[in-house]
Amino acid sequence: MFQETVQVLERLLRSPSQIAKHCAADEDPRALFLASLCATLLGAAAFGGVLATSRGGLQLLYSATKVPLALVITLVLVVPALHGLAASLGQPLRLSAVVSLVLAATGRAALVLLALSPVVWLALDRGIGYHSSVLLAAACYALAGLSALGLLWHGVGKSLRGAFVIACFGLVLVPTGAQTAWLLRPFIGRPAQARVPFLRHRESSFADAMYLSALSSQGIYRAPEPNSHPAPRGATNLADDAEEAP
């Protein structure tokens, strides 16, 4: 079983089309399931741990737990959406095939995150600012997401219609994944912070925060709108609370 799992891990990276065929065919999914889940948990945990290196301490453990959690929650939420989109656009797939496909794609994305971890660690070690590290993490998630969508494209059929299904699915995946991660903040944590919370208060939305964070990284600070904080935590820039999303 171990040998088979390692082989599947290699195929996840090298030949997404073979993995997609495996998902669509009624073959034994155990090795694929195990390999994808291991890749998701280990890859995302490593990336989460690296993100927290600038803060250190308990944040390392929290981030290493929350990044895989965010990926798995997103996976669960978007599986029915891909099934519905594929069916209504004339590319119907069995639900079990969709589950395998999305799990494999998540595993692939986590492996990409694992590969990007040293780059992120180096950047954090070189002392890039908090807001720049948020944007760097968001760029890593975007790259990982694209590699996952590539595998899904093979799965729904590598055609114009398949590309349309994947484009529509991307419209669902991005806000869902971003909001899930937004709820599980913080991932990076600020060195100046005395206490490390496992979760922050619920506030505003991911899109607002990314926009303000991009402005803050360029030294442009804007105050949040008065009604955007139902539970105010002091007069801070909303961008200070912006963090990365898987």
Partner 1 sequence: MTESDVALFRGVEAAYSARLTALELPDRADEWRRFASGLALTSVYGLALGARSGGTSLLRHALGAPAALLAVSALAVPALFVVLALIDAPVTLPKTLSATARASASTGLLLAGLAPASALLVVTIDSDQVASVVTRLTLILAGTLGGLPLLSGIYEEVRRAPTGTRLKSVLLLCGFALFAGALSARIWSALLPILGGA
Where does this chain bind partner 1 (CB under 8 A)?
A: 26, 76-78, 80-85, 87-90, 92-96, 168, 171-172, 175-176, 179-180, 182-183, 202-205, 207, 227-228, 230
| Contact predicate 68/48, CB 8 Å | yes
Residues 6+ apart with CB under 8 A from 140: 47, 112, 113, 116, 119, 120
Q: Which is nearer to partner 1, 147 or 204 (CB)?
A: 204
Q: Which is nearer to partner 1, 204 or 216 (CB)?
A: 204
Q: Which is nearer to partner 1, 21 or 94 (CB)?
A: 94
Both tokens assigned to 64: 């290493």
The phi-psi region of residue 220 (left if phi > 0; otherwise alpha if psi is between -120 and 50; otherwise beta) is: beta
Q: Which is nearer to partner 1, 96 or 193 (CB)?
A: 96
- Least Å from the CB of residue 169 to partner 1: 10
Q: Which is nearer to partner 1, 52 or 69 (CB)?
A: 69
- Least Å from the CB of residue 150 to partner 1: 21
Residues 6+ apart with CB under 8 A from 239: 131, 209, 212, 213, 215, 216, 221, 222
- Least Å from the CB of residue 50 to partner 1: 27
What is the Cα–Cα distance from 233 to 240, expressed in whole angstroms?
Answer: 12
| Contact predicate 186/70, CB 8 Å | no
- Least Å from the CB of residue 21 to partner 1: 17
- Least Å from the CB of residue 221 to partner 1: 21
